[in-house]
Structure 1
């Protein structure tokens, strides 16, 4: 996986914003003020991207792909972390980013959703 490509993809999503959390040494991506992706490292220093995921799909992904684990420092039911050194394609991870984005966007108020859409 290419971190730069995935960062560009995150920022290409409608209304997406970025910040850097120094305490976590992590790049965070938000929509409507709510995080949908975070790129940083795990406790061993291995780079990961952490994404929200529908719970049953999250578990299925973890069982299917060795490089996908329960969300590092996140709610393990709703978040997965994906190792950058796994053999997953950027395209596959982009689909997971899109899924995370859509889960977060759908939970925003209609007012905030409409503001983002009309920007």
Structure 2
């Protein structure tokens, strides 16, 4: 998957998720938030478009070991965030799943009254 397709797929999925807002907070950085909390960042890391999403620590480590195009989160907590880079090991389905999981992780930490969806059920069916 090339860099444009990677970021386009991630942005498209983020826009489909309930109560998501997209914005640019500084040149070269775009973000997706739910209820004011980040769940995805897009930028370029030395000229390569990347997507940065939240992940459970154990899942993050396993994903980094299983996919050559997934590394610890760029400029983020390396245990809780991963970076998706262009390359042959990622496909659209996986990118969409990882964006959805990042969203669910953030929603699960919101107060129940602010949750736009039930994170335990959303995106699993």
Distance 1:57 1:8 in 2: 23
Distance 2:10 2:53 in 1: 12
- Residue of structure 2 in register with 1:75 after alignment: 77
Structure 1 stretches of 4+ with a deviation exceeding 6 A read none
Distance 2:57 2:107 in 1: 17
Tell me, which stretches of 5 or more residues in structure 2 are unaligned?
Answer: 118-125
TM superposition score normalised by structure 1: 0.89
Distance 1:27 1:100 in 2: 16
- Residue of structure 2 in register with 1:99 after alignment: 101
TM superposition score normalised by structure 2: 0.85
Aligned-residue offset at 1:9: 1.1
**What RMSD over aligned residues (CA atoms) do the two structures have, in Å?**
1.1
Candidates 38, 42, 46, aligned match of 1:39 = 42
Tell me, which stretches of 5 or more residues in structure 1 are unaligned?
Answer: none
